[in-house]
Amino acid sequence: MTNSLPFWQKRLLLILAGVAALALMGLVFTAGRVSAGQDHPNGASADAGFARDMQVHHAQAVEMSLLIRDRSADEDLRSVAYDIALTQQHQIGQMYAWLEEWGLPQSSSAPAMAWLDSSAGHHGGQDGASAHTAGALMPGMATPEQLAELKSSSGVEAERLFLELMIDHHTAGAEMAEAGAELAETARVRSLATKMATAQQAEIGALQDLLDRR
């Protein structure tokens, strides 16, 4: 018995091999086009600006929340502060990862809130970057003097100061998130910004209740 295949079988195998090769090439070509065609936000986009600025805004909220958690014996306040710190630190990680994925730097030479240029009237009625210069604090953020006062205070004084500062911080942060949800180009940025606005508005109520007890 011979091991050689009939001519027609050899021809069929060659045709099948050619079809498989063409199919593989087509898949590679399509995958390449999909990958090359992914449109990431550019450095001047609202998506990138929001991710950068909200990281900075969140970082201060985390700092203040951890400070009061170590200075207060009020378990309700400690719980709210811990939730704020945990949630916002997680969101900082998400926004950091976006910028890495988009191949964009984590900081920019543009003034804070420059991405609001295209949306006059957001964020406390100010018209975007014209209200913010390089190095200026974003709305709602505590000044270095206020942070120093919080660090040096204790007891009810520290609790009241934290609550007042965090209510202002959250009020501005919610407005900033609402603007991000409106201006962002990517669905995941819009989604996270919407969740931030909703959560911070709810937390303002809880913070105000705690302040009213003092």
pLDDT tens profile 36-60: 445 799 999 999 999 999 999 999 9
Q: What does the pLDDT read at residue 130? A: 41
Q: Are residues 56 and 16 in the same domain?
A: no
Q: What does the pLDDT read at residue 16? A: 56
pTM across the whole model: 0.77
Give the tens place of pLDDT for each residue, 115-160. Answer: 997 544 444 444 444 445 556 899 999 999 999 999 999 999 999 9
86, amino acid identity:
L
Domains in the chain, number = 2
In a domain, 106, yes or no: yes
Above 60 in pLDDT, residue 13? no
Q: Which residues contact 185 (CB under 8 A, 6 or more apart)?
A: 41, 45, 46, 47
Q: What does the pLDDT read at residue 39? A: 77
Whole-angstrom Cα distance, residue 54 to residue 62?
12
Q: Are residues 118 and 199 in the same domain?
A: yes
- Cβ contact 50:197 at 8 Å: no
Q: Are residues 75 and 149 in the same domain?
A: yes
pLDDT band at 11 (very low <50, low <70, confident <90, very high): low
Q: Are residues 181 and 123 in the same domain?
A: yes
SS3 assignment, position 112: coil
Q: What does the pLDDT read at residue 183? A: 97
Average pLDDT on 162-190 reads: 97
Above 80 in pLDDT, residue 182? yes
Q: Which residues contact 84 (CB under 8 A, 6 or more apart)?
A: 61, 62, 65, 166, 203
SS3 assignment, position 41: coil
Q: Are residues 74 and 24 in the same domain?
A: no
Q: What does the pLDDT read at residue 38? A: 58
The domain containing residue 148 runs over which residues? Answer: 46-212
Q: Are residues 162 and 99 in the same domain?
A: yes
In a domain, 1, yes or no: no
Q: Are residues 174 and 203 in the same domain?
A: yes
Q: Are residues 62 and 32 in the same domain?
A: no
Task: Give the lowest-confidence range in 11-25, 29-43, 195-209.
Answer: 11-25
Above 90 in pLDDT, residue 100? yes
Q: Are residues 94 and 131 in the same domain?
A: yes
Q: Are residues 86 and 11 in the same domain?
A: no
In a domain, 204, yes or no: yes
Above 50 in pLDDT, residue 194? yes
Average predicted confidence (pLDDT) for the chain: 84
Above 80 in pLDDT, residue 10? no
Q: Where are the alpha helices (DSSP H) in 129-186?
A: 144-152, 155-183
Q: Are residues 109 and 159 in the same domain?
A: yes
Q: Are residues 59 and 29 in the same domain?
A: no
